[in-house]
Structure 1
Amino acid sequence: MGYLSRSIFLLFFILTVTACSQPVDSNATPEGFTLIESVTKTQDDNGDPVLPYTKYKLDNGLTVLLHQDSSDPIVHVDVTYHVGSAREEVGKSGFAHFFEHMMFQGSKHVADEQHFRIISEAGGSLNGTTNSDRTNYYQTVPANQLEKVLWLESDRMGFLLEAVTQQKFEVQRDTVKNERAQRYDNAPYGLLYERVSEALYPVGHPYSWPTIGYVEDLDRVNVNDLKAFFLRWYGPNNATLTIGGDIDVEQTLAWVNKYFGPISAGPEVNNTPKTLVTLPETRYISMEDRVHLPLIYLSFPTVYGRHADEAPLDLLAEILGGGKNSLFYQHLVKQGYAVQAGVSHPCQELACSFNLYALANPEKMPSLTDLEKVLRDAIADFERRGVTEDDLKKVQVQFEASTIFGLQSVSGKVSTLAFNETFAESPNQIARDLERYRAVTKEDVERVYKKYIKDKPAVVMSIVPHGQGQLIAAPDNFSLPERQLPEYPELDESQLSMRLVTETFDRYQVPEAGPSPVVKVPESWHSALTNGIEVVGSQVDETPTVTLLLSIEGGPLLDPKDKAGLASFTAAMLNESTTQRSAEEMALALELLGSRISARASGRFTEIAVSSLSENLDATLALLEEKLFSPKFDQADFDRLKTQALQSLAQANKDPGALASRAQLQLLYGDQRIGLPDRGTLASVQSITLDDVKAFYANHYSSAEAQLVVVGDMDRKAWLPKLQFLADWKGESVTFPSYQEFPDYLEPTIYIVDLPGAAQSAIRVVRRAMPYDATGDYFKAGLMNFPLGGAFNSRINMNLREEKGFTYGARSSFSGGKTLGRFVVSTSVRKDVTGAALTEILRELANYSANGVTKEELTFLRQSVSQSEALSYETPSQKAGFLRQMQTYGLTKDFATSQGHIVAEVSKQELDTLAQQWLSPDDMQILIVGDAQQILPQLTAMGLPIEGIALAP
C-alpha cells in the first residue's frame, strides 16, 4: 500500500470514528425547514471520505448545517455571511470589516459589549474574521450554552440596527483605524499586499482595495451608509449557520427555528461572475519602508477558486518554493542570496495569484535587480528540472495529512463545512478536493507553468529601507491612477428599508444554560525509561494521529551572556543536516510521511515537537532518532543560519512590538542573560561559533534533563517499545547559573525607545512578580487580573478601545516560570494619544489596587473561568500541553480540581489584597516605543521622570 492510499485509509478511519450523525427522517423535518440533504456515510460510492452532516433551509433562506460530534462536551457555532470587501462599492472600502466590529457592539435585546461578556461568562471563546469574500462569526462554548449562542447570533442578524448609534460608529471607526495603523501602516512590509493588489487588478475590481479599507473612505461615510450595507448583505438568505459538536439535532432545530425563523429575508444575492484577470505588461512598483532587508515580490494573475487549474498551480508553487527541496530554497536561500524565499498560490472566490518573494541578504545580494535575476533563473530551472514523482507524492500526502489534522477539533470540522457550503454550495467537498489533487499529473503542472507563468506579465514590488531607493529592482513604470469616486448622495435614515422581525416571544430574556457538562481532565499514564526519562501519555482515539513533546530542561538560560542565542541556534541546527542525510533529504522524508519534527529553545527548555499520522509513527520516530542523536553540525548549514539570524535580528530592530519585548526584559532584569531575548542580540549571535554549538549540544542535551509527553491513539503498552531508542541516551544534570541582582527602581519612570516615523506607540507598564504556582498566589493573581485586563470586557480594554478608541486592543497579565514572574500591561495606541492612553492605564491600576474587584466582576470571573474548562482538553495538542504543564511543575492529577475549588471559593478580600500588593502604579515602570519627537510633549506633561533606554547591542 503506497503513501497515498495509506493516507486515504487513515482519513476513512478518522471520519468513521468521529462522525456521529444520526439519520434524519425527511418526513419528520420540523415546520419551517426544508431538508436539503442528509449525509450519514463516511465514504462515498468511490471509496472517498465524507464528513457527515445534515443540511436544511429555513423558509427565510438561511442555510443550516448540523454535525454531531459527542467526543467532547462542547459546541462550535459559525455564522458565515457571503459578503466581504469584494462586495463593497468604490469609495466605500472597509465596510465589511467595519461591520465585523459593529456586530459585537450590542443589538436591540443585547446591551452594549454584552456579547463578549455573555460568551466569556459562559466559558466560551469567540471572534469574527473578514476577508475579500466572506465574513464569519464564531463561538466555541460548553454544550449547555448552545441556546444562548443562537439567541445572540439571531439578535444581531435581526435586530442589530436598532442598537447602532453615531457614538458606537465613531468609536469603532477609530478602532478600525488603530487596527490598520498597527497591522499595516506601522508594521514592516505592512503595505505590501495593498500596493500589489492595486497594481494587479484593474481599477474598480473588487480585489483592488484592501479588506481593512482606506482611511479616507472610512472618514467619508456616515452611520447610515453602514446601515445600508447591513441591510443589503446581512440577510438570512445570504448566510450559512453551521453547528457542530455535542448537540441534540431535534432540540437544535427547534432553537434555530425559534430564534432565526422570524427574521425576514434580505434582498436577493447572486454570485459575482468570475473572469480571469490579465496584465497588459509587467508592472514595476516600489516603496521605501522602515525595514532592514530589501524585499522583492512578484505576483502573476492566474485563475479563481476551484478552477480546474487551481490544483496544478498549487503543486507548481510547492515545487518552486515549498520547503528545503524547492528550487527557490536551493537557488536563493542555500546560496546565501536571500534570507527567506517562498512561493504561494492563494485563491479567492474571484481570482488567484501566483506569488514569489525573496528577502535579500544585504551582505551578498543588496540589489533587487540582481536578486530578481536569480529569482527568475530559479523559475526557468523548473523547465530543465521538470516534475518528479516525489513532487506529486509529497504534495498529495501533505494535503491529505493536513485534512486529517484539521479535523481534530469540532471548530475545524464546522469551518470546513461552512467554507465549502459558502463557496461550493455543498459542504461535501473533502473527497472532491482530495481527488482534485490526486488527479494532477506532471503534464498538468508543466502546462499551467507555460500558460500562467512563463514569460507572462507580473507585478514586481520592491520594498527597500528608507533612503535606499537605488536598490529597487527597476524604476517604477506604473502608478495608480487618481481615484475617481462616484458622487454618492448622503443617505438619510428615512431612506433605509428596515427589515421587520415578528417577535413571537420575549427576546430580552437571556436563555438559561442547560445542566453543566461533565468535564474530565485527560486520563494519563506515567512511566519511565530505563535511563530515568519520565514519560507521561494519554490515549486519544478520535483521530489516527500522534503528538510527541520531548523537553530538555536547559535552554537559553544556560547561554553565556556574551553568546545569548546559543541554545536557540543549537536547536535550529537540529532542523538541518544529519550525518546520514542532508537537510533536503530529511525534509523530503518527512514530507512523504506527512510528518513534522521541529526543535526550538525558549526560557528554561529546549523542546522537540513531533506530529505524525499513527500509521507512519515508526518511520517518523526513526527520523527523530536520527535528528536528535546524529546531527551533522555542518559548517555550511551554520553559516547560512547565522546569516539568517543576524539579518532577522536587524529587521526586528525596526519592529515596534519586537523592540518593546526586548526592552521590557532589559528593564525588568538588567544586564544579564535573562535580560536578553531567547534568540540573542546582534552582538551575541555574531560571537557564536560552530564549536560553541557543538559544545552546547554535548554538555546540555542530556537524558538527565529530558521529559516526554505522548498523546495519540495508542495505549501505554504500545507506546513504550517504540520509545526504547531514547533509553540508551546518557547525560549529566545541568546547573543553572544564579541570577545577578535585578535593577532597583526608586520611582516610576518613563523609558523611551525612539522609533522615528512610528505611526503608533507601543506601551508596556511592567513590574517583576511571583513565579508560577498552580494553586497559590500566582494562580489567584491571574484570577484577580481577569476583570482588569484578562478578558475582552476587562476594564483596561473597554476604556482604551471601546470607550476612547485609542487602540485596537489592550490587556494585562501575570506570567511566570519556575523561578521568576512578571506583570505586564501592553497595548499599541495612536501616537497622538500616547500620553492620554498612559494616563488611563495608570488610573485604572490605581483604582483597581485601591478598591479591588467588584462583586459583579467576581461573579463574572467565577463563571467564566469555571465554565471554560470544557474547552481546555479537546485536541491532542491541548491534551499534550496540559500533561506537559503537570510534568514541568510536578503537579498531581487533581490540581485542576483544586483550581476549580479556588475559583468557586476565593474571596473578594483575597483578591483585593493581591491587587493592593501587585498593582500599585508606584511599583511599575513604563516603557514606550514610538516617535520620541511626537510623543515627548504629551509625556512631559504627566510629570514623571523620562529617560531614553539604550538597548544592548
Structure 2
Amino acid sequence: MKKSSLFSMLVVVYFMLAACQQPQVDKDKSSFNQAELTGDAFKYHQYELENGLTVILHPDGSDPLVNVNVTYHVGSAREEYGRSGFAHFFEHMMFQGSENVADEEHFKLITEAGGNLNGTTNSDRTNYFQTIPANQLEKVLWLEADRMGFLLPAVTQEKFENQRETVKNERGQRVDNRPYGLRSERVREALYPKGHPYSWSTIGYVEDLDRVNVDDLKRFFKRWYGPNNAVLTIGGDIDIAQTKQWISKYFGPIPRGPEVKSAKKQPSALDETRYITLEDKVHLPLLQVTFPTVYSDHPDEPALDVLASILGSGRTSLLYKNMVKNGFAVQAQASHPCRELACEFLLLALANPSKVSDLSALNDIINASLDEFEKRGVEDDDLQRVKTSIETSSIYNLQSVAGKVGVMASSQIYRGTPDTVQFDLDRYNAVTEADVMRVYNTFIKGKNAVVLSIVPTGQSKIAAAQSNFSLQDRVIPVQQEMANIGEAPVIIDSFDRSIQPSAQASKAVNVPQFWETTLGNGIKVLGLESNETPTLSFSLSLEGGVLLDPLDKTGLASMTAAMMNESTLNFSSEELSNELRLIGSSISFSSNGRYTNIYVNTLSKHVDKTLALLQEKLFNPAFLEADFKRLKQRNIQAMEQSLNNPSTLMSRAREMVLYGKESRLGIPDSGTLQSIDAITLDDVKGFYEQYYRPDFATLVVVGDADKAKVLEFTVMLNDWKKSGYKLPDFTIDKNIDKGKLFIVDNPGGVQSIVNIVRHGPVYDPYDEYFKLSLANFSLGGMFNSRINLNLREDKGYTYGTRSRFSGGKLTGTFTASADVTAEFTKESIQEFLTEIEQYQQHGMTAEELVFMQSAYTQSDALRYETPRQKAGFLIRLSSLGLDEDYTAKQQEIIQNITTTELNALAAKWLVSDKMHIIVVGDAKKLQDSLEDFDRDIEVIEILR
C-alpha cells in the first residue's frame, strides 16, 4: 500500500469539497471581507468576544437554512461524587424558559418557525442545537443568549421538581426498563476508581437526583455555563457581517463566568481482572471484556482503533470468523470508544444459547482470537479499511450544515480549532503495522480487564467466572454545600431584551428538480443530481416485500433479504465485505413494510466498482446451506431476545389487536418463532426466483451524477426479466364497536408502555388523511402538544408522549403512545383519554391553527437539504403515486384550511370509545386499578 498516494488523494478530496461549499454572500449586503475565511475541509470565520465566548461562522448558501449550536465544555465528568446527573439535568432545565422567554416557549418558537431543536449531554460536554429557516436566525440567537445569561431567574422549585421526574422517567425508559440497559453503568463502576469522573453514568443515579436541591443546581450552572466555557457555532445561509452584529448585541453583554481549567487526563488502571455478573431479563447472555487504554487524541489512539477493527469490526474481523460465522454468537464486535479523559477497549459478544452453555466458552474464544491475532499480525487491508472509513465518514459529515457545524463545535471544544479533518487524516495515515502490534502488547496482551457477564435471571452460574468484585453500597457522606459562586452579575443592555426579534423575510424554498424515465423492462427510474459532496446513493425498491409471505412461513421475505447479504457464487460474504470497506461503500438488502429494498451508498469515484459488486450480489446469490442455518438460528435467538423488550411486546400487541393473528398484517415483518422454524432454504430460493424481479421495481438515484451517467449505470438491469407476480390484497375489519383494554404482562417492569389505537384512513396527499395530520398537530404532533405538556411537563408521568395518524396504501391508524412510570399507569391513561375527548369535542383553537400553519409552511426550508432527504422525496413520489407539485398543493391547503374543517375531522375520528387501550406492564400490579375503566379487559399473549 502506498501511503503517500492515499494521503494525496484525501487532500484533493477535501480541497474539492471546500471549494464546492464556498459561501454565497450578497456583497452589497455584507461588509465582511471574504478573505478572512480560513479552513480546509470547512471554510469558516472564527473570533472571540471579550467575555470569552468563542464564535465560529461557516457560510453555506446551498439551502435557505441555518444551524445554530451552543456547546458548553461541561458534562458529567465535572460533577462531584454523590451529585451525579447535574449536567444532564441542566440539559432539561435549559429548555424550561429564562427571564425573557416563557416556560416551554423555546420549543414553541422554534417549532412555529418551522425548525427543529434538541440538546445532548455526555461525560465531557453539553450542546444545544437548532436548525431553522435562514430568516429566523436573529430569534434563535436571542433565545440562546437569554438562557446563557438569564436562566436562573426563571428556575423555580416547581420546574425543578417537574424536570427531576422527567429525568427519572428517561432513566427508566432508557436504562432500568430496557434489557442490557445497565451494562455501561456497571462496567464504569468496576473500571474506574471511586470518585473518578467517569465512574458514574451521564444520566446519574436516582438517589442522587432525589438528594439534589434547586440551589445546588443553580450553583452548578453559575460555575460552568459562562460564555468563556462555551462555543457558538453557526453554519448555513448567513450574512457574516449581520450575524456578527447580532452576536455582539445578544451575547456581548453577558459577563464571563469563573475560569475553567482543563480537566486532568485520567486513564484507568486495574490491579487485577475484575469479574462482575448482572442478572437481567434477557434471553441472550452477553459477555463484555473491557480494557483501560489511553485518552482521546493520545498518540496511540489511532493504532488502537485499527486493532479494534481487526479484532471485531464487520465480517472481516477475527471475532466474526471465530464466533458469529460458526454460530457460537449471534453478534460479536470490538470497539475503542474514547472520551476526553480516558478510553476503553471493548470486546463484546452475544451468545447463542443453543450452541454455548456458558459465557466462559466465549471468553475462551476471545482469548484464542487474541492469540490468533498475535500470530497473524497486521495486513495491508487492515490499515486501508480504517483509513478509508475515516475518509468516507468525514465526507458524509459534510452533507448537512448540522453535520458540519457539529464537527466544528466538537473539534473546537476538545482540540482548540474547528477544522481537524487533516489532523485525523494525518494521524491515521501514519499508523504502521508495528504501531498496532505495540499497542496490542502494551494495553491488551495479558492485561487486566473488567469482564462483565449479563445472564438471564436466576442463571448466574453461566457467567464467565465467579464474581470477584462488587461495588460497595454508595454511602454518601453528609455533603458540604456546594461552593457559592456569588450572585449572578447584573447585565446592562442598550436595548430591551424582553422584546422578541421579528423574523426577516423568508427565502424561497426550491423543491428538488428531478428527472424520470422507465427502462425497457418496466423499472421506473427517478434521478436527482446533487454535487455538494462527491457521493452517490441508489435505492432499488421491489414492491410486495413481507406482504408476499405465505401465512405459515411469515418472515420469508426478511430471511431472503438477509441471505442476499451473504455469499455469492463468486465471493464469500467476507470477501465482499472487505472489497466494499476498502472503497468505503455499502450495499444492504432488507425487507419490511411493503417493500424489499436494496440500498447502495458510495463515493462517486468508486461507483463503477460498487455497482459491479451490486450486480454480483443481486444476480448471483449463492444461497449456501451453512449461511442459511446460521442466519436462521441467529434470527430465532434474536427474536427470543426481542421478546424481553417491552417495546417489541407493544409493537406485536398493537399489530395483533388491530389486524388479528390470522392476517399477515397482524404478524411481525420478521415472522414468529414457529414460522421462521418452518422456512427452508428451498423456500428462500423460490422467493428469490419469483419476487426479486423488476415487475414492481423503482430505482431512485441521488448524488454526483447526471441523467446520462445514471442511465449508463442501469445497463446492468436491462436483461432482468419479469416473473409476472401479483401484489396481494387484504380485507381489513376496521370496525370497533367498543374499545377494549388489553394488557401484555411484563413482570417487574418499572414502566408501563401505553398505546391508544384505532384504525384510520389510508394515505392520501390532500384529503382526509392529510388533514387529520394537520388536526393532530396540536393534540400530539409536537413537543408543545396538549398531551405532552400534560403528561410530561405538568404531571411528570413520562419522558415524552405523542399521537399521530399514519397511513400507507393498505392501512391507516391513529396511535397515542407513551412510556410512563408504572405507578401512574392508570392516571396516565385517564389523562390521555381526557385530552383526546376534549379535543374531539372542542377541537383546535384559532391560535393553534395559526401556529400549525406557520410551523408546516416554514419547515419546507429543512426538507430537501441532504441526499437522504432528496431521495426520500423521490421515493414518496414514486411509491405513493404523488403529483410532482403535491407539496405546493399541500401548502395551499394548509394556508386555506379552517378550524371548522379540522375540528369536524377530529370529532369524527377521535372518538375514544372507538379506540383500544393496550398496556405493556406488570399485569399483577396493574389489573385491579385498570378495572376502573369502563372497558372489557383482556390479558393477552403476543405472537411468539
**TM-score range for the pair, normalised by the shorter chain length:** over 0.9
What's the offset of the Cα at 1:69?
0.5
**1:577 matches 2:567:** yes
Q: Which residue of 2 aligns with 1:47?
A: none
The 5 Å alignment of 1:560-599 reads: 560-599=550-589
What's the offset of the Cα at 1:684?
1.1
The 5 Å alignment of 1:412-491 reads: 412-489=403-480
Provide, for residues 619-638 of structure 1, a one-character-per-residue CA deviation record: whole Å limited to 9, x for no partner.
Answer: 11111111111111111111
Amino acid corresponding to residue 571 of structure 1 in structure 2: A
Provide, for residues 354-410 of structure 1, a one-character-per-residue CA deviation record: whole Å limited to 9, x for no partner.
Answer: 001100000001200111111111122110111100111111111101110111000
Q: Distance in 2 between matches of 1:495 and 1:143?
A: 38
User: Does structure 1 conserve the Cα–Cα contact (< 8 Å) formed by 2:145 and 2:251?
Assistant: yes
What's the offset of the Cα at 1:743?
7.0
Q: Which residue of 2 aligns with 1:46?
A: none
Provide, for residues 124-160 of structure 1, a one-character-per-residue CA deviation record: whole Å limited to 9, x for no partner.
Answer: 0000000000000000000000000000000000011
Amino acid corresponding to residue 40 of structure 1 in structure 2: T
Q: Distance in 1 between matches of 2:482 and 2:263?
A: 25
Provide, for residues 211-264 of structure 1, a one-character-per-residue CA deviation record: whole Å limited to 9, x for no partner.
Answer: 000000000011000000000000000000000000000000000000000101
User: Structure 2 stretches of 5 or more lacking a match?
Assistant: none
Amino acid corresponding to residue 346 of structure 1 in structure 2: P
Q: Of residues 616, 620, 638 in structure 2, which corresponds to 1:626? A: 616
Amino acid corresponding to residue 513 of structure 2 in structure 1: E
Aligned to 2:538, the other structure's residue is in SS state: strand
Q: Of residues 233, 241, 264 in structure 1, which corresponds to 2:255? A: 264
User: Does structure 1 conserve the Cα–Cα contact (< 8 Å) formed by 2:778 and 2:848?
Assistant: yes
User: Does structure 2 conserve the Cα–Cα contact (< 8 Å) formed by 1:321 and 1:341?
Assistant: yes
Aligned to 1:546, the other structure's residue is in SS state: strand
User: Residues 5 and 491 (structure 1 numbering): CA distance in 2 closer, same or farther, change over 3 Å?
Assistant: closer
Provide, for residues 437-492 of structure 1, a one-character-per-residue CA deviation record: whole Å limited to 9, x for no partner.
Answer: 11100010010000000000000000000111111111110111333424324579
Q: Which residue of 2 aligns with 1:907?
A: 898
User: Residues 733 and 146 (structure 1 numbering): CA distance in 2 closer, same or farther, change over 3 Å?
Assistant: farther
Q: Of residues 16, 20, 28 in structure 2, which corresponds to 1:17? A: 20
Q: Which residue of 2 aligns with 1:825?
A: 816
Q: Distance in 2 between matches of 1:23 and 1:236?
A: 30
What's the offset of the Cα at 1:22?
8.0
Amino acid corresponding to residue 13 of structure 1 in structure 2: M
User: Does structure 2 conserve the Cα–Cα contact (< 8 Å) formed by 1:538 and 1:715?
Assistant: yes
Aligned to 1:723, the other structure's residue is in SS state: helix
What's the offset of the Cα at 1:501?
1.5
User: Does structure 1 conserve the Cα–Cα contact (< 8 Å) formed by 2:51 and 2:256?
Assistant: yes
Q: Distance in 2 between matches of 1:255 and 1:952?
A: 58
What's the offset of the Cα at 1:843?
0.6
Q: Distance in 2 between matches of 1:4 and 1:627?
A: 31
Q: Of residues 37, 40, 51 in structure 1, which corresponds to 2:38? A: 40
Q: Distance in 2 between matches of 1:615 and 1:287?
A: 48
Q: Distance in 2 between matches of 1:788 and 1:772?
A: 20
**1:544 matches 2:534:** yes
Q: Distance in 2 between matches of 1:448 and 1:359?
A: 26
**1:215 matches 2:206:** yes
Q: Distance in 1 between matches of 2:201 and 2:517?
A: 54
Q: Of residues 129, 149, 152 in structure 1, which corresponds to 2:140? A: 149
Q: Distance in 2 between matches of 1:123 and 1:394?
A: 40
The 5 Å alignment of 1:221-620 reads: 221-489=212-480, 496-620=486-610
Aligned to 2:160, the other structure's residue is in SS state: helix
Aligned to 1:243, the other structure's residue is in SS state: strand
Q: Of residues 869, 890, 899 in structure 2, which corresponds to 1:878? A: 869
Q: Distance in 2 between matches of 1:405 and 1:307?
A: 25
Amino acid corresponding to residue 355 of structure 1 in structure 2: L
User: Does structure 2 conserve the Cα–Cα contact (< 8 Å) formed by 1:231 and 1:499?
Assistant: no
User: Does structure 2 conserve the Cα–Cα contact (< 8 Å) formed by 1:90 and 1:486?
Assistant: no
User: Does structure 1 conserve the Cα–Cα contact (< 8 Å) formed by 2:655 and 2:667?
Assistant: yes
Length, aligned pairs only: 938
Q: Distance in 2 between matches of 1:422 and 1:642?
A: 46
Q: Distance in 1 between matches of 2:767 and 2:289?
A: 55
Q: Which residue of 2 aligns with 1:724?
A: 715
Q: Distance in 2 between matches of 1:505 and 1:495?
A: 28
Q: Distance in 1 between matches of 2:777 and 2:164?
A: 27
Q: Which residue of 2 aligns with 1:779?
A: 770
Q: Distance in 1 between matches of 2:234 and 2:614?
A: 39
Q: Distance in 1 between matches of 2:7 and 2:881?
A: 42
**1:663 matches 2:666:** no
Aligned to 1:387, the other structure's residue is in SS state: coil
Provide, for residues 191-211 of structure 1, a one-character-per-residue CA deviation record: whole Å limited to 9, x for no partner.
Answer: 000000000001100000010
Q: Distance in 1 between matches of 2:877 and 2:728?
A: 25
Q: Which residue of 1 aligns with 2:190?
A: 199
User: Residues 59 and 451 (structure 1 numbering): CA distance in 2 closer, same or farther, change over 3 Å?
Assistant: same
User: Residues 869 and 256 (structure 1 numbering): CA distance in 2 closer, same or farther, change over 3 Å?
Assistant: same
TM-score (norm 1): 0.97
Aligned to 1:704, the other structure's residue is in SS state: coil
Amino acid corresponding to residue 89 of structure 1 in structure 2: E
Q: Which residue of 2 aligns with 1:176?
A: 167
User: Does structure 1 conserve the Cα–Cα contact (< 8 Å) formed by 2:24 and 2:61?
Assistant: no
Amino acid corresponding to residue 808 of structure 2 in structure 1: G
Q: Distance in 1 between matches of 2:161 and 2:930?
A: 26
TM-score (norm 2): 0.97
What's the offset of the Cα at 1:353?
0.1
CA RMSD of aligned residues (A): 1.8
Say which is worse superposed, 183-192 or 743-752, in terms of deviation.
743-752
What's the offset of the Cα at 1:19?
3.4
What's the offset of the Cα at 1:39?
4.4
User: Residues 21 and 485 (structure 1 numbering): CA distance in 2 closer, same or farther, change over 3 Å?
Assistant: farther
Q: Distance in 2 between matches of 1:807 and 1:69?
A: 39
Amino acid corresponding to residue 674 of structure 1 in structure 2: L
What's the offset of the Cα at 1:646?
0.5
The 5 Å alignment of 1:748-827 reads: 748-827=739-818
Provide, for residues 750-775 of structure 1, a one-character-per-residue CA deviation record: whole Å limited to 9, x for no partner.
Answer: 10000101110011100111111111
What's the offset of the Cα at 1:38?
4.5
Q: Distance in 1 between matches of 2:586 and 2:475?
A: 50
Amino acid corresponding to residue 890 of structure 1 in structure 2: G
Provide, for residues 694-741 of structure 1, a one-character-per-residue CA deviation record: whole Å limited to 9, x for no partner.
Answer: 111111111111111001121111210111111111113432333245
Q: Distance in 1 between matches of 2:347 and 2:373?
A: 14
| Aligned residues with identical type, % of pairs | 53
Amino acid corresponding to residue 392 of structure 2 in structure 1: A
Q: Distance in 2 between matches of 1:372 and 1:16?
A: 50
Q: Distance in 2 between matches of 1:491 and 1:435?
A: 44
Q: Distance in 2 between matches of 1:733 and 1:889?
A: 21
Q: Distance in 1 between matches of 2:625 and 2:514?
A: 43
What's the offset of the Cα at 1:3?
5.9
Q: Distance in 2 between matches of 1:445 and 1:88?
A: 35
Q: Distance in 2 between matches of 1:146 and 1:217?
A: 38
What's the offset of the Cα at 1:21?
8.2
Aligned to 1:648, the other structure's residue is in SS state: helix
Say which is worse superposed, 68-77 or 472-481, in terms of deviation.
472-481
Q: Which residue of 2 aligns with 1:947?
A: 938
Q: Distance in 1 between matches of 2:802 and 2:207?
A: 29
